[in-house]
Structure 1
Amino acid sequence: MEQQVDQNQNQLVGSAKLLLGVGLDNFISLLVFGLIFILGVLGNTLVISVVARSKPGQTRSTTNIFILNLSVADLSYLLFCVPFQSTIYMLPTWILGAFICKFIHFFFTVSMLVSIFTLSAMSVDRYVAIVHARKASWIRVGRHATLGVVLIWILSVGMAAPVAHYQNLVEREDNSSFCWEVWPDRHRRVYVMCSFVFGYLLPLALISVCYMKVSAHGAPRARDA
């Protein structure tokens, strides 16, 4: 009886593996990808639908423009990158071609940089609104925020261009292929250093300084109160 139960369990496990075609760890990764995709698409779509809606004759605030840009970048990544990246866990080889290989890694970098630079712009916007309240009325206008968003995308695309250039299909000995970055060593070191400085250190420093200034500006008022 116990032997028959064990055989049935083994058959169920074997059938599950055959049905899924992937290992348990890869299956869990796919579930996580799916959860992130569904929640991310729903959340960002809701934000975009709310923020993008404006009354006739009413201009969007700079904050709403930056939030809208942040949601667009996140939603674009979810729609154009996550479904393709999930195939890595389902298939033993890359079958989507060289263009998709280059595009998803390029656009992943673009969306990441857009998010970072937008958060930096939002911190500057908040700094101007609080510390320079008298000047804020003509600095914090929709036209300036829109121009900032355009510059953010141009800068992000420019910084991500090397990723698209060096992302290639690499052939294995068994005639399978995978999508990988193939950089000359010197170029990789230079790019990693520049990305770290301009995509992390400087934005972090800018955000930190802005919020320290905002905190310092509000401290005297709190003491007086």
Structure 2
Amino acid sequence: MQNVTAHASEGINLTCGMSGNHGFIFTLVPVVYGFNFVIGVVGNSMVVAVIYRYMKLKTVANVFVLNLAISDLTFLITLPMWATFTATGYYWPFGSFLCKACAGLVIFNLYTSIFFLTALSVDRCLAIVQPVRSRRYRTAGYARVSCVLVWLVAFALSVPTALTREVYIITNETTVCGVLHSKDALRPKNLLLAISLMKSLLGFLVPFLIIVSCYCLIGRALLRSRHIQRSARPREDEVLRMLAAAVLAFFLCWAPHQVVHFLQVLHQLKVLADCSVLELIDTAMPFTICVAYFNSCVNPLVYGFVGANFRRNLLRLLCCAQRGVPVAHPSISSKMSALSFRASEALSLTAKGKTSSADGQ
């Protein structure tokens, strides 16, 4: 949006007015945000509980999936504020700090999601294409180090977005959380353009090319190994199907937003300078954001429908919760079952000893 700055007391005059200012947006979008928040928080909390309780953190895939769920949860806590912002006609009542933090968390979730999916794709590729060589590197320890690097890089990439967001007072007394595009300030304009290009390249295009390359290598390796019995790798196939579904869901959720965001970049470059084009961009943007935010609650559905192992453990968790039985840690429950087996074995041996002694008498 192209803005002209006035004095602070007068507010800001907008060259193209309040683009995308439609009543149905203020009604529909908050409802979708609320749906995403409820489904996403419940679903990702179950993912965290199932992996921690039953599936453990001894495999690379589980480490990355757990971090992906935590990333989604950190973003979902901002949705009630975005819903309020939209429901009140783009009025931001939460102050400057939360404006910056919420905007930064949106981009932070974008980067962490695509980076974790990329790391999962590379892991599957190494497991199938180079199973022997990659075994020493595909450990839970290396996966945890990779997760720390992903969190740090994603945080560094999201900081500029947080810093450029601010609370502005528009001339119609509306307080918005947004970005000011000034005609005169060249450095902020270049910074905003760099942030937009990073979001498109590092947050979507480059990782997606890496993921597609990984799947091409995986497909070629699987075609070469047709003679190998599929029963020998059921776990590998399940993880691969689950990852493919998660990557497809990410692409379908974020691609519309990236297209509209690219049009917004063209408007920043003055390639598209008409106010009618800006009106179209600002009207479509809230709906593409809704679809993009839906990605944070679709991953648990993917795990439930595609991952048979995850589905079994989820049913175990739900059954224990309904009965009110405390869910023991897997290591504790395995030790208890081993002790009970040894105790029953000892009792059977004792009973056999008594029977044999009675027969001897």
TM-score, normalisation: structure 2: 0.52
Counterpart in 2 of 1:160? 158
Of 194, 206, 209 in structure 2, the residue corresponding to residue 205 of structure 1 is: 209
Give yes or no for contact 2:99–2:177 (8 Å, CA) kept in 1: yes
Change in Cα spacing, 1:89 to 1:192, as seen in structure 2 (3 Å) is closer
Deviation at 1:26, TM superposition (A): 2.8
Computed over aligned residues only, the root mean square deviation of the Cα atoms, in angstroms, reads 2.1
Deviation at 1:25, TM superposition (A): 4.8
Please give the alpha-carbon distance, in whole angstroms, between the structure 2 residues aligned to 1:59 and 1:88: 38
Please give the alpha-carbon distance, in whole angstroms, between the structure 2 residues aligned to 1:42 and 1:54: 18
Q: Which has the higher contact order (CA 8 A, sep 6+)?
A: 2
Give yes or no for contact 2:108–2:155 (8 Å, CA) kept in 1: yes
Alignment-mate amino acid for residue 197 of structure 1: L
Alignment-mate amino acid for residue 43 of structure 1: G
Change in Cα spacing, 1:135 to 1:188, as seen in structure 2 (3 Å) is same
Q: Secondary structure at the match of 1:133?
A: coil
Counterpart in 2 of 1:6? none
Deviation at 1:170, TM superposition (A): 1.1
1:83 is the counterpart of 2:80: yes
Alignment-mate amino acid for residue 97 of structure 2: F
Deviation at 1:182, TM superposition (A): 2.6
Counterpart in 2 of 1:10? none
Change in Cα spacing, 1:199 to 1:24, as seen in structure 2 (3 Å) is closer
Alignment-mate amino acid for residue 213 of structure 1: L
Alignment-mate amino acid for residue 222 of structure 1: R
Q: Secondary structure at the match of 1:200?
A: helix
Please give the alpha-carbon distance, in whole angstroms, between the structure 1 residues aligned to 2:39 and 2:190: 40
Q: Secondary structure at the match of 2:226?
A: helix
Q: Secondary structure at the match of 2:92?
A: coil
Please give the alpha-carbon distance, in whole angstroms, between the structure 2 residues aligned to 1:60 and 1:166: 40
Please give the alpha-carbon distance, in whole angstroms, between the structure 2 residues aligned to 1:212 and 1:70: 24
1:114 is the counterpart of 2:112: yes
Please give the alpha-carbon distance, in whole angstroms, between the structure 1 residues aligned to 2:80 and 2:169: 23
Change in Cα spacing, 1:167 to 1:59, as seen in structure 2 (3 Å) is closer
Q: How does 1:25-174 map to 2 (within 5 A)?
A: 25-54=25-54, 60-79=58-77, 81-92=78-89, 93-174=91-172
Q: Secondary structure at the match of 1:94?
A: coil
Give yes or no for contact 1:163–1:181 (8 Å, CA) kept in 2: no
Please give the alpha-carbon distance, in whole angstroms, between the structure 1 residues aligned to 2:86 and 2:196: 26
Q: Any idea what the Cα deviations from partners look like across 1:101-125, whole Å, max 9, x if unmatched?
A: 0000001110111000000000000
Give yes or no for contact 2:121–2:214 (8 Å, CA) kept in 1: yes
Q: Any idea what the Cα deviations from partners look like across 1:6-49, whole Å, max 9, x if unmatched?
A: xxxxxxxxxxxxxxxxx555333222222111111111111110
Runs ≥4 in structure 1, deviation > 6 angstroms?
Answer: none
Of 194, 212, 215 in structure 2, the residue corresponding to residue 190 of structure 1 is: 194
Please give the alpha-carbon distance, in whole angstroms, between the structure 2 residues aligned to 1:175 and 1:120: 44
Alignment-mate amino acid for residue 109 of structure 2: S
The percent identity for this pair of structures is 26
Q: Secondary structure at the match of 2:199?
A: helix
Q: How many residues align?
A: 201
Please give the alpha-carbon distance, in whole angstroms, between the structure 2 residues aligned to 1:85 and 1:46: 24
Q: Any idea what the Cα deviations from partners look like across 1:148-194, whole Å, max 9, x if unmatched?
A: 00000100011111111110111112433100013522222222223
Alignment-mate amino acid for residue 39 of structure 2: L
Please give the alpha-carbon distance, in whole angstroms, between the structure 1 residues aligned to 2:139 and 2:79: 34
Please give the alpha-carbon distance, in whole angstroms, between the structure 2 residues aligned to 1:71 and 1:177: 33
Alignment-mate amino acid for residue 155 of structure 2: V
TM-score, normalisation: structure 1: 0.82
Q: Secondary structure at the match of 1:170?
A: strand
Q: Secondary structure at the match of 2:146?
A: helix
Please give the alpha-carbon distance, in whole angstroms, between the structure 2 residues aligned to 1:88 and 1:205: 35
Unaligned runs of 5+ in 2: 1-22, 182-187, 230-361
Q: How does 1:2-21 map to 2 (within 5 A)?
A: none
Please give the alpha-carbon distance, in whole angstroms, between the structure 1 residues aligned to 2:193 and 2:25: 33
Of 225, 238, 249 in structure 2, the residue corresponding to residue 221 of structure 1 is: 225
